[in-house]
Structure 1
Amino acid sequence: MCGIAGIICWDRQKIEEDVLLRMRDVMTHRGPDDSGFYINERKSVALGHRRLSIIDLSSLGHQPMLAEDGNVCLVYNGEIYNFLDIRKELRDKGYTFNSTSDTEVILKAYQEWGEQAFERFNGMYAFCLHDKKEDLLYLARDHAGIKPLYYSLTKGNLIFASETKAFTAFHPHWEKNSDWKIYLLTFGHMPEPFTTLNNVFMLPQGSLLRLDIETGKHEIMKFNQINFSQKIINEKDALEQVRDTFTESVKRHLISDAPIGVFLSGGIDSSLIALVANTYQKENLRTLSIIFDEKEYSEETYQDIVLKKMNSHHHKYLVTENDFTNNLENIFQAMDQPTIDGVNTYFIAKCAKEDGLKAVLSGLGGDELFGGYSSFTRIDHLWKVKWLSKNIRNLFKLSEFSGIDKFKRFSFLSMQEPLSFYLLLRGIYTPKTVSVILGCSVNDVQKAIKKLNPDIHQHLGKQNFVSCLETNLYMKNQLLRDTDVMSMRHSVEVRVPFLDRKLIETVFSIREDIKFRKDIPKFLLVKAFEHILPEEITTRKKQGFTFPFDVWIKKQGKGLFENAVSKGGINKKYADRVWNEFQQGNIHWSKVWAMVVAAATCPSTMNN
């Protein structure tokens, strides 16, 4: 895993080396092992790279990497898990390799197949490739949006980076996006493609940006789109294919020249990864888990059940309220973009770093693909709303005036799908409440939300619709982005076997009624691996990997909250009301935390 940044000026402005190095080195945490840069003054192209060595730890994996003829240059962040297969195919065509890195495979795959090479990659990645001969530059991002890649296009240049802090390193007074607090208080995160910075966007998943360096002409196009289908219509075939593709995915994700382990939470997904990984690594497998003093949040009992079936080197880490308090400042800095999530990944990565690991496997993605969330059952009631007329749905706006917080949420149903359903399930504050908190109009909030155009397939069955919703909004915008920045803060790579391209293609092609069962969460996954998953794990009530934030924030007292509110341009009277409701147990901790984050992570505060 690495950090990449670059500046391309088709108006032929001179690129200052120190500006590029500022952008690159503000992300030193993403790649402490090595650094490099490439400047082509004639083409006005400058690329920077920070390296975290995982595959081929030698200097032969140094980046930027140039092809032997000097015509192609690459900076790359991530892993290509099928690089060994592609390298063999290229060797059969006569190519030779100087390193064992996947970076060199990307270069030579492009030399052989051009931009069609991108369709062959199965991994998590974001890269920039400069083709000097054709005068083209490409930005590309993986099929699931696992790795981030931000860009900004202006009249004469393109700027890109792995984190938005590189843009403020380029220009310390970069203009803020006036809607960013609206998005945070509504969604709990910054929904793609938007960021806290004006005109800085996230490249869509499975997409490439192609730039003609001579003219500045550019286009963004999909090179990898995984759609739902009904190809697998037999349960036996579905079970066999899920079993085979998942097992192969875990095997691919274990490829590493640096120390690698598995994070074990005690839930179905992480337990399954650990148990399958154990068949390949056996006595060499390393696992870690987090436990709490607050027993109702600790999953130690379930972790121990799984560990009895394995022979791993396991370390348990106790995370306390004091750890939370002492790391708060660093957590806010690590966010890069504001979010109510990610603290759990921050501590996972911190513990992995202390354990000497450079990479860990995570169960992220299992709930979205196989139906692990309560949203998969709640959709039965919500689905009826789809057939209501616009006038009737507008009546849901009246619920904004309810004095009970959970009833206010129904006002989201007056909005258009798919955001109406998503925000009812996962939204933080309603538009009217956001307007009160920020002192803006409801129309301002609604206009900001209408700018979003999520890539959700509307003509799907109920369960596939929820899967698409959770995958393309919650997982991509919040879980994956937070996992990336929080883990990279500690120079640790988090790998996600459930989001292997082959596995997603398989799961998306299974008929909906075979894949999901109302009475059995993750029915297909559990049945496919019932021979190794302990029954205590598969039949337990879903808890989710949750920290005791409710307890910790209350113990922090109102001081932290008031201090944040005083800095964040937030309605103090309403904030006091929120705190009181929280103290009485009437609202979720995320509403309080969203206000704290809105102040603590505002761009001006973060720069300071």
Structure 2
Amino acid sequence: MCGIAGFIAGHGRLLSNEIICKMASIINHRGPDDEGFVILKSHDQLIQLGGDSTPHEVWDTFTEYRPVAKITSYMGDASIMALAHKRLSVLDLSPAGHQPMSYSSGRFWIVYNGEVYNYTRIRRELQESGYVFKTNTDTEVILAAYQEWGEGCLNKFVGMWAFAIYDRYSNEIFLARDRYGIKPLYYFFSEEGDFFFASEIKQFTVLPKWRASMNPQRVYDQLMYSIADHTDETMFGNVFQLPGGTCFKSVLSDIKPAISGKLNYKRWYWPKRELFNGSFENAAKTFRSLFEVSVKEHLNADVPVGTALSGGLDSSAIVCEVNRLLKTGGATTRQRTFSSCSDIEKYSEKKWMDIVIGATNVDASFVYPKVEDVFTQTPQIIWHQDEPYQSQSVLLGYNVFKLAASDKVKVLLNGQGADEYLGGYGQFTFSRYAEMVRRMKIAELLHDIENTRQIRSLTGMEVFRGIAYHLLPTKINRILSGLSSNTRHLKGIVSSGKMGMNFKHPFDFIPVEYSSVQNISEHLTFYSTLPKYLHWEDRNSMANSIEARVPFLDHRLVEFVYNLPDNYLEKDGISKRVMRQAMGGLLPEAIRCRRDKMGYSTPEEHWVRNECPGLFRKGIARTIDVTNGLIKNEALTYFDNIVEGKIPFDFSYWRLILLGEWITRFDVKLP
């Protein structure tokens, strides 16, 4: 995993090479092992350059893409185009893995962040067609695959990526992002028409004339509904992201924004809809097989690999499968796991972690974040995250990666992504119930409700509201949503008139209805939930120079589950049914049959109401001060009511605090 950057000057313009150097320097944390640059001074003059972090071995390696000089030698010059790469060495640690890398006698140049796990198979296929390879990297395979299949190569890849390929012959740039947006790719157009792209938003802060501004609609979505990364916009004005599963291709001189200010990108990936007709038992066997393949491929690295263990079903499954693979392969070293815990039993998953640890004999490490960490680490975390986040779960993730980095681990597997398509949040329940009502399967409905109530608390009113949501028109649901107590409280705190945003529900910006089980799966995986979690995961891991890998987001596994019958995923209150069945004999039974869900949880409510209410209140007051009336003084009363228990506890207090932190950290211009 790495960091990338690039610029393409507007028509008839040149840009200082100092810009690309600064864009790379500000993300040293993403790639501390190597750096490289390519500048296009004219259409027939392309120069590869190194930097202060380029290892001596790279300069001495006889590759066609090795640097010929330092970027500092060209600081006074300007270019039409520039590419930059910061390398975190994970596969093929040799100097041959240096980027920007070229292929086909310097025709194609790439800067790439990610991993293509099936690259060896693609490599063999290309070799049969006559392609020759000089390295053992997946980067070279991507370039050859692009030469052979064009943008169709994306369908061949299994993995995570964000990359830019420049074709010298056609003078075209090709940008692409993986299916689920695991790896980030942002872009920005200056007023002069210059185009910039980067792995992190903060890279744009080094641009001449840059001034961060607020995108009121996306900030409102975050404040009111805790939804982010659900569109191609960001909370920064005029800063956009290439969504997961999309790509963009253009001749350099033709790159310009549409009326919306965005690129005219195209979607290259759509989930396949091929309904599974086999038995539940066969589905579980197939799931297990696909899961095993994915975990095995995700272990491929030339550096130490660890696993994040939360004690839940997903991370435990990965830990147990890694353990099985290591034993089968005759490994003599123990798997290393990293976990976040709490001293307060109510918020601790330690007892579940201990069950997995006891069954696998892993070398386990733990971190116990304290309330003090919130105040000492938040300024640094918000800088790494680029945008406000939802709760202290991000703090926990940051410290888990920090712990792994202190143990010299450079790759960390985790269970991210499974909940969204397997139904880990219980999100399919009411959709299933509504479908039973439509089909008049009342006896089946009542039986399912009765069994579900034996597993989780479910009142008659909750059932009624849940079913009604899926039966009522969207317009009615939006009205009812606006009447909810939490939304009503927050609307009295936020000065919507000063923000100048549209009162649309965030779901209205998402092109998939929150309706059927399949649609809900797509909704959460591509829009409303997973993208923000992947955003947090990427920044937390890269802040500590660690590559985070997510085996549950192998698209072959996701698409298989996506096409299973609804009751294979959930029935009678049992979620993730097919996975639980598949993990028989692998997971400890206590974990496999576990029904509650916590994950990395902080004693946040305890911190706010008991330990440090005054310090959190000061955070609210600071937000009121720096937002110039966007957040009203009533926010303090709202917080006091939360502390006193007059209002149910939720994470809205933190979203208010982080808004002020973000505005201060990035000097964001208010509407």
TM-score, normalised relative to structure 1: 0.89
Alpha-carbon contact 2:349-2:599 (below 8 Å) kept: no
Give the aligned residue type for 1:348: V
Distance in 2, matches of 1:390 and 1:118, equals 35
Q: 8 Å contact 2:284–2:578 — kept in the other structure?
A: yes
Question: What residue is the counterpart of 2:603 in the other structure?
Answer: 548
Look up the equivalent residue of 2:639 and give its one-letter code: W
Most deviating of 446-455 and 77-86: 446-455
Matched letter for residue 139 of structure 1: L
Please state how far the C-alpha of 1:444 moved relative to its aligned partner. Answer: 4.4
Deviation at 1:228, TM superposition (A): 4.0
Against the structure 1 CA distance between its residues 147 and 63, is the aligned structure 2 distance closer, same or farther, given a 3 Å change threshold? Answer: same
1:247 to 275, 278, 292: 292
Task: Answer with 438-447 or 198-207: which moved more.
Answer: 438-447
**SS of 1:327's equivalent?**
helix
C-alpha contact (below 8 Å) 2:40/2:82 kept by paired residues: yes
Identity among equivalent positions (%) equals 31
Residue 34 of structure 1 corresponds to 34
2:160 is paired with a residue whose SS is strand
CA contact (8 A) 2:624 2:633 kept: no
Contact 1:177–1:198 (8 Å) recurs in 2: yes
Structure 1 position 189, deviation (Å): 4.6
Deviation at 1:68, TM superposition (A): 4.2
CA 1:395–1:326 in 2, change beyond 3 Å: closer, same or farther? closer
Q: Which amino acid aligns with 2:589?
A: E
Give the counterpart letter for 1:453 in structure 2. Answer: F
Deviations 1:19-47 (A, max 9, x none): 11111111111111111111112242211
The 3 A distance-change label for structure 1 pair 378 and 581 is farther
Q: Is the 8 A contact 1:149 1:163 kept in 2?
A: yes
- Give ranges in structure 2 of 5+ residues lacking alignment: 44-79, 257-262, 434-462
Paired residues of 2:221 and 2:506 also in contact (CA < 8 A): no
Residues 470-490 of structure 1 show CA distances to partners (whole Å, capped at 9, x for unaligned) of 222343331111111111111
Change (3 A) 1:603 1:177: farther
Distance between the aligned counterparts of 1:185 and 1:16, measured in 2? 38
Q: CA deviation at 1:54?
A: 0.8
Shift of 1:593: 0.3
Go from structure 1 to structure 2 and tell me whether the alpha carbon gap of 1:240 and 1:391 turns closer, same or farther (over 3 Å shift).
closer
Query: Aligned AA for 1:536?
Result: A
**Alpha-carbon distance between aligned partners in 1 of 2:562 and 2:102, rounded to the nearest angstrom:** 37
Q: 1:215 to 1:509 in 2, by over 3 A?
A: same
Structure-2 change in CA distance of 1:56 and 1:483 (3 Å): same
In 2, the alpha carbon distance for the partners of 1:557 and 1:38 equals 52
Q: Give the SS at the match of 1:438.
A: coil
Aligned partner (choices 230, 233, 242) of residue 275 of structure 2: 230
Shift of 1:101: 1.3
Q: Which has the larger radius of gyration?
A: 2
Matched with 1:196 is 235
Is 2:507 aligned against 1:385?
A: no
CA deviation string 1:159-213 (max 9, x = no partner): 1111111112224324432434312202325332111222211112111011122
Q: Which of residues 604, 622, 629 in structure 2 aligns to 1:563?
A: 622
The amino acid that maps onto 1:480 is L
The CA deviation at 1:337 is: 1.5
Equivalent in the alignment of 2:634: 574
1:568–1:351 CA distance, 2 compared to 1 (3 A): farther
CA gap 1:587/1:450 in 2 versus in 1, 3 angstroms = closer
Residues 583 and 174 (structure 1 numbering): CA distance in 2 closer, same or farther, change over 3 Å?
Answer: closer
In the alignment, residue 201 of structure 1 is paired with which amino acid? F
SS at match of 1:210: strand
Which amino acid is 2:642 matched to?
F
Supply the distance in 1 between the matched residues of 2:185 and 2:277 (Cα, whole angstroms).
34
1:163 aligns with 2:163: no
Supply the distance in 1 between the matched residues of 2:8 and 2:403 (Cα, whole angstroms): 38
Q: Which residue identity is paired with 1:340?
A: Q
Whole-angstrom distance in 2 between the partners of 1:451 and 1:499 = 23
CA distance in 1, matches of 2:188, 2:212: 11
**What does residue 351 of structure 2 align with?**
301
Structure 2 Cα separation of the partners of residues 41 and 512 of structure 1: 57
How has the CA–CA distance of structure 1 residues 603 and 193 changed in structure 2, closer, same or farther, with 3 Å as cutoff? farther
Q: Which residue number corresponds to residue 149 of structure 2?
A: 113
Partner SS for 1:231: coil
Q: CA 1:395 to 1:325, structure 2 compared with 1: closer, same or farther past 3 Å?
A: closer
- Corresponding position of 1:15: 15
What is the SS of the residue equivalent to 1:245?
Answer: helix
* Segment drifting more, 448-457 vs 108-117: 448-457
Name the count of aligned residue pairs.
578
Give the drift of 1:530: 1.5
Q: Does 1:100 align with 2:136?
A: yes
The structural deviation recorded for 1:261 is 0.5
**Residue matched to 1:268:** 313
Amino acid at match of 1:176: M
Q: How far apart in 1 are the matches of 2:542 and 2:272?
A: 30
Equivalent residue, structure 2, for 1:422: none
CA distance in 2 between counterparts of 1:451 and 1:241 reads: 33
Q: Indicate yes or no: 2:162 matched with 1:126.
A: yes
The letter for the 2-side match of 1:304 is D
Instruction: From the superposition, tell whether residues 607 and 594 of structure 1 become closer, same or farther in structure 2 (CA, over 3 Å).
Output: closer
- The secondary structure found in structure 2 opposite 1:325 is helix
Work out whether residues 3 and 77 of structure 1, in 8 Å CA contact, stay in contact via their aligned partners in 2.
yes
- C-alpha RMSD of the superposition: 2.5
**Which moved further from structure 2: 442-451 or 559-568?**
442-451
Distance 2:518 2:124 in 1: 37
Say whether residues 1:363 and 2:415 are aligned partners: yes
Residue 597 of structure 1: how far off its partner (Å): 0.6
Q: What is the CA–CA distance in structure 2 between the aligned matches of 1:454 and 1:394, rounded to whole Å?
A: 14
- How far apart are the structure 1 equivalents of 2:304 and 2:352? 25
Cα distance, 1:576 vs structure 2? 1.5
Alpha-carbon deviation of 1:128? Answer: 0.5
| Offset at residue 591 of structure 1 (A) | 1.0
Measured against aligned partners, the alpha-carbon deviations of 1:288-315 in whole angstroms (never above 9, x if no partner) come to 2222211211111111111122132222
1:147 shift after superposition: 0.9
Matched, 1:176 2:234: no
Deviations 1:34-80 (A, max 9, x none): 11111112242211111111111121111111114111100001111
Aligned to 1:322: 372
Worse overlay, 214-223 or 138-147: 214-223
Shift of 1:599: 0.5
Paired residue type of 1:360: L
Confirm or deny: 8 A CA contact 2:126 2:145 kept in the other structure. Answer: yes
The more displaced of 520-529 and 337-346 is: 337-346
Partner of 2:255: 216
